Structures are given as structure tokens and as C-alpha cells.
């Protein structure tokens, strides 16, 4: 399986269950629940306290971010990330496995996966199928919260995996890299509101909704299927590629999918539509709704 060769970008429930049973979750292997839900719908931290994979810690995406930014979930500083994950018992040699409890199977876990990678950590994997399938397959859960021994983590930002607003603006004219938008089609086209924002997309972007990379059970599709999806949208995986979405979360699904196909250098536009909508000039926001009004 290609995922196993590529630094184990995905691990199966069976693999992780065997690691849990063998007592390997500890200093060398840390498991993180990176769940996040709209507060009015579910309480991720409370659900973690009630039921999680044995030995797991809660990775709070609301805490591990740049709180000074006006945009959601922007990357923290190197020092901020290093301190946060160090408190979770993660060092530079730790293999990290991330998952979440979303009903889709996986939603926020790829964001945590990418965050580790953008800060220079390569031994990080996503639990294929997420917590939903872990439970469905009958693997153990616990309410016992582990207390990991703090570790030293040294973070170094890999700017090649990150794109800024200025770089995205420049690319509209230069087309130095391909841009894929992972939001649902209606939000990409501008025919429905995007979580309260007028929607639309960056000029030249191609739309591949992130959910299309998941099977009905919530597992990642096969490498062959993923390659075909990129091919159908005329996305060339041999050329530079940047992914955008609403707030830099679901974009990471496509970075993970491309990684499984042997492309580890996909960058994320961290500000995504949240920033683009507020900062880009009107002519740089493509929207069918606006055209129809005109």
C-alpha cells in the first residue's frame, strides 16, 4: 500500500488497535483526538472525556492557533506549536496518529496532520476511517484521560507547504501553481452562503469537494481512484499545487490525498476564503450569484 511507504500517512484501525493492545501508545507513539464541531452542535472536548482511544490526548485546534488573527484556525508560531505539542508528550522522534469523531469519518484530523508537517514533523499519520469506524469495528474505548510526560519539540516552519495572501494574489496573474478549492460546489460557485459569508472562489481555481475523497464508510478512497479524480479535473500532480477552502481545514484532505499519490509537496493557503473574501479586490472574487445580480 502506497500510504505505508510514504511515511505511513494513513494507519488502519487494526494497526492502531494492535499498538494499543501491545502497550506501544506512550513516549514513542502518541494518539491525538483532533475533533472540532460547531459549539451549538456538539462539544468535542466533553465527548473526548467520555470516550476516546486508550492513551489518546485531546488536540484542541481552538488553542493551538494564532489567537491574534481575525481569521479562524490560523497557524500558531513555531514556539506556540512546539510548546503546545510538547505538553502532549510529543518530541521530534514521536510517531503521531491523529483522528476525529466526525460523522463523515474524518474532518479535522488532516488539518492536524498538515500542521505537524508544516512545522517539520514527518512521522505523523491519520487514522483511516476515524473514531466512527474504530467504534464500529469494536475496538476499545475509555474515559480515562492519560497524563503524558511533557517532551521537548523543536518546530521549524516549512514555508514550502504554506501559501500567503500575497502569494495567492500574485498567482492569479502568473499562474505559477495550480489551485484546488475543497469546498462544496455551491459555495465554490457562489450560489449559496459559506457559513455566513458571501461565497465564490479565487480566479483560476478548480473545485474538488473534500468529501469526494472519502468512501461511503468514511475511509480514504484508493490511490487509483484519487489519481483518477485529479486527472478528471485536469490537475497535474507533477506540477506545483496549492489547496484552499473556507478556513484552511478541509483543504488538508486534498493535501493528504495528493500525498497518498506520491506528492508530498502540496501547500495550503492558510487564510483561504475567510481571508480572501475580506482582502481581495472585487474582481478577484468569482461568483455566479454576483453575475446573476448584475
pLDDT for 25 equals: 92
CA-CA-CA-CA torsion for 188, 190, 192, 197, nearest 10 degrees? Answer: 90
pLDDT for 3 equals: 33
Does residue 133 have a pLDDT over 90?
yes
User: Domain 160-293, CATH 3.40.50.1820 — does that match?
Assistant: no
What confidence tens digit (pLDDT) does each residue in 11-22 have?
A: 999 999 999 999
pLDDT for 74 equals: 84
pLDDT for 290 equals: 60
160-293 and 2-157 share a CATH fold: yes
Does residue 145 have a pLDDT over 60?
yes
Separation CA 112–CA 35 (nearest Å): 10
What is the overall mean pLDDT for the chain?
A: 93
The residue ranking higher by pLDDT, 52 or 5, is 52
Q: What average pLDDT does this structure show over 280-285?
A: 96
pLDDT for 67 equals: 85
pLDDT for 46 equals: 97
Residues 6+ apart with CB under 8 A from 236: 178, 230
pLDDT for 5 equals: 32
| Partners of residue 181 on adjacent β-strands | 207, 244
pLDDT for 4 equals: 35
* pLDDT tier at 2, thresholds 50, 70, 90: very low
Measured in residues, the chain has a length of 294
What confidence tens digit (pLDDT) does each residue in 196-239 have?
A: 789 999 999 999 999 999 999 999 999 999 999 999 999 999 99
Contact yes or no for 8/64 (Cβ under 8 A): no
Does residue 82 have a pLDDT over 60?
yes
* pLDDT tier at 6, thresholds 50, 70, 90: very low
Q: Which of 115, 112, 106, 189 is nearest to 157 (CA)?
A: 115
What confidence tens digit (pLDDT) does each residue in 99-117 have?
A: 999 999 999 999 999 999 9
- Where are the chain's structural domains? 2-157, 160-293
- Give the CATH H-level superfamily of domain 2-157: Rhodanese-like domain (3.40.250.10)
* pLDDT tier at 7, thresholds 50, 70, 90: very low
Residues annotated as catalytic (active site), given as ranges = 245
CA-CA-CA-CA torsion for 274, 280, 281, 283, nearest 10 degrees? Answer: -80
Separation CA 292–CA 294 (nearest Å): 5
Separation CA 278–CA 275 (nearest Å): 5
What confidence tens digit (pLDDT) does each residue in 154-203 have?
A: 999 999 999 999 999 999 999 999 999 999 999 999 999 877 789 999 99
Question: What is the number of other CB atoms lying within 10 angstroms of the CB of residue 238?
Answer: 7
Q: What average pLDDT does this structure show over 58-83?
A: 90
Amino acid at each position: 500500500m502506497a500510504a505505508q511507504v510514504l511515511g505511513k500517512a494513513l494507519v488502519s484501525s487494526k494497526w492502531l488497535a494492535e499498538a494499543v493492545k501491545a502497550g506501544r501508545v506512550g513516549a514513542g507513539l502518541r494518539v491525538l483526538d483532533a475533533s472540532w464541531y460547531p459549539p451549538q452542535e456538539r462539544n468535542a472536548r466533553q465527548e473526548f472525556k467520555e470516550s476516546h482511544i486508550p492513551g489518546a490526548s485531546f488536540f484542541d485546534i481552538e488553542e493551538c492557533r494564532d489567537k491574534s488573527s481575525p481569521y479562524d484556525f490560523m497557524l500558531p508560531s513555531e514556539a506556540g506549536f512546539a510548546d503546545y505539542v510538547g505538553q502532549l508528550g510529543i518530541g521530534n522522534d514521536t510517531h503521531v496518529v491523529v483522528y476525529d469523531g466526525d460523522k463523515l469519518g474524518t474532518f479535522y484530523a488532516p488539518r492536524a496532520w498538515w500542521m505537524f508537517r508544516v512545522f517539520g514533523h514527518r512521522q505523523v499519520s491519520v487514522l483511516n476511517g476515524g473514531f466512527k469506524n474504530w467504534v464500529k469495528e469494536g475496538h476499545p474505548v475509555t474515559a480515562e484521560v492519560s497524563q503524558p510526560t511533557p517532551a521537548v519539540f523543536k518546530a521549524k516552519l516549512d514555508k514550502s507547504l504554506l501559501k500567503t495572501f500575497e502569494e495567492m494574489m500574485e498567482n492569479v496573474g502568473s499562474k505559477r501553481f495550480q489551485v484546488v478549492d475543497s469546498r462544496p460546489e455551491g459555495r465554490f460557485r457562489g450560489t449559496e452562503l459559506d457559513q455566513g459569508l458571501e461565497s465564490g472562489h479565487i480566479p483560476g481555481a478548480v473545485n474538488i469537494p473534500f468529501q469526494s475523497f472519502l468512501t461511503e464508510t468514511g475511509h480514504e478512497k484508493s490511490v487509483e481512484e484519487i489519481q483518477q479524480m485529479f486527472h478528471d479535473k485536469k490537475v497535474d500532480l507533477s506540477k506545483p499545487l496549492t489547496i484552499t477552502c473556507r478556513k484552511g481545514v478541509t483543504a488538508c484532505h486534498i493535501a493528504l490525498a495528493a500525498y497518498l499519490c506520491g506528492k508530498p509537496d502540496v501547500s495550503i493557503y492558510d487564510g483561504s476564503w475567510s481571508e480572501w473574501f475580506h482582502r481581495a479586490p472585487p474582481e478577484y472574487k468569482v461568483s455566479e450569484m454576483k453575475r446573476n445580480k448584475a
